[in-house]
Every structure is written in structure tokens, then in C-alpha cells.
Amino acid sequence: MPPDRVTVAIPTYNESENLPDISTAVTAHGYHLLVVDDSSPDGTGELADRLAAEDPLISVLHRPNKEGLGPAYAAAFDRALADGAEVVIEMDADFSHDPADLPRLVKAIDDGADLAIGSRYVPGGSTPDWPVTRRLISKGGNLYARVMLGIPTRDATAGFRAYRAESLRALPYREAQASGYAFQVEMAMRAHETGLRVVEVPISFRDRTRGTSKMGTGIVMEAMRLVTVWGWQRAARRVRSWTR
């Protein structure tokens, strides 16, 4: 895959401390970087504009309001596909995802995957900075999603993933019900429903060292609620199919 056909989309909200370094790390691979900023009050958007003025591999999409991860990625997908990207990658701004792993996700697409997920929960994946309680909660949430949705993905909540462009076009990302991190679960579910080939690439997920996490109780509750709703809808479809 030619590097200039790869776009790495990074949504930002108050990530001015991380943006210069993550931008350098992404573009060092020759990939395009698309910063999607939701009007950060700390000046992240303005900083992104300055970086874009200095580097043709960087572009910026400004959004007027903070609407959540799902709408930010949907807007990023539209822009990246319109600009001709053949691979679109989701990535956090805070170095929780190692930029050195980007070529491994691209290689998975080159090898035939439609969606390559950087996974913490397949052999070789890890969360070295996490206490046991946090690890158990995350693994439990992913197990719940697997059981309720009937999908094999072990890390459906993962936010480090690469899509083949033609496969991404087949997904209803614009109509996603989730606005928070449940967006990742929803896209994994839709990918399996669509018959796309989903692979998991082991990664090490590190905690951020600069800035503030955007994860909150509301985001977790949205994910639990939606996974439960989708699970019951799946069960209802199966019952209807049995009674026909």
C-alpha cells in the first residue's frame, strides 16, 4: 500500500499537549494525518492549522461542537474517502496507541482484511499500565458484547483500527446510533453483519501521560445500553426466523 494512500484520522478535544508529537510520529510513516477537532477551547484546532500549514501531509477538519467520537469519525471517514484514501485508520491522539504499530495495521489490510483492529485481548496484546480491576471491567464489557451480539471479536471496543476504503463505504457509519465509544462496537458488529473480513492485530495499549481522558460514566452507560438493545434485537430476529 503506498503510504500516501493511507489516512490516519485523529479526533481531538483539548489535545494541544499531544498534537505536535503525535503528528510527527504519524507523518514519519508517510501517511496523511486528518485532525478532526471539535472546537477545543485549549487551542488544539488553531495549533492543528499551524501544523497543516507547515506539512502537506496534515489536514484539519473543524467541527463547531463537541458531539462525540462517532460523529467525529463519521465526518472524518467522509473527508478521507472523498480525498481518495485507500486505507482509513482510527487512532487516539494521546499515544495510547503506538504510532509504530500503524504499518502493522496497514499490512493486515494488504493481506486481505477489510477491518484490522489493534487488539488488547488476543495473544500478544496487553494493557501494561492498567490495574487488575480496570482490566477485568474492560474484558468483561468485551465479553458481554461478544455474547450479546454474537460476534467473535475479542476487543470490539478498541479504538485503533484500519478500514479498507471500499469496505468502509459498505458500512452505515453515517447512521450509527452510538456517539461515544460504543461507536467502535457498533462498527465491529456491522462489519460482521456485512460479511467483512475482520482480523485482530495484537497491540500494547498504554495510558496517556499528558492531557485528560475523555472517558466518562455517560459513555460507558451508553455502550452498555446500546449493546443490550442490539442484543435483544438480534434475539428477536432469531426468534422470528425460527417461527416462520
At residue 222, the pLDDT reads 82
Q: What is the DSSP letter of 100?
A: G
Q: 228: domain CATH number?
A: 3.90.550.10
List the grid coordinates of 41: 477551547
What is the domain count for the chain? 1
Could you tell me which of 183, 13, 4 has the C-alpha nearest to residue 90?
183
pTM of the model: 0.92
Question: pLDDT (tens digit, 9 = 90+) per residue, 60-84?
Answer: 999 998 888 999 999 999 999 999 9
At residue 90, the pLDDT reads 98
Band (207; pLDDT cuts 50, 70, 90): confident
Band (215; pLDDT cuts 50, 70, 90): low
Question: pLDDT (tens digit, 9 = 90+) per residue, 120-168?
Answer: 999 999 999 899 999 999 999 999 999 999 999 999 999 999 999 999 9
Distances, alpha carbon 235 to alpha carbons 148, 152, 156, in Å: 9, 17, 19
> CA 19 to CA 95: how far, in whole Å?
10
Domain of 111? Answer: 3-243
Examine the pLDDT at 212 and tell me if it is beyond 70.
no
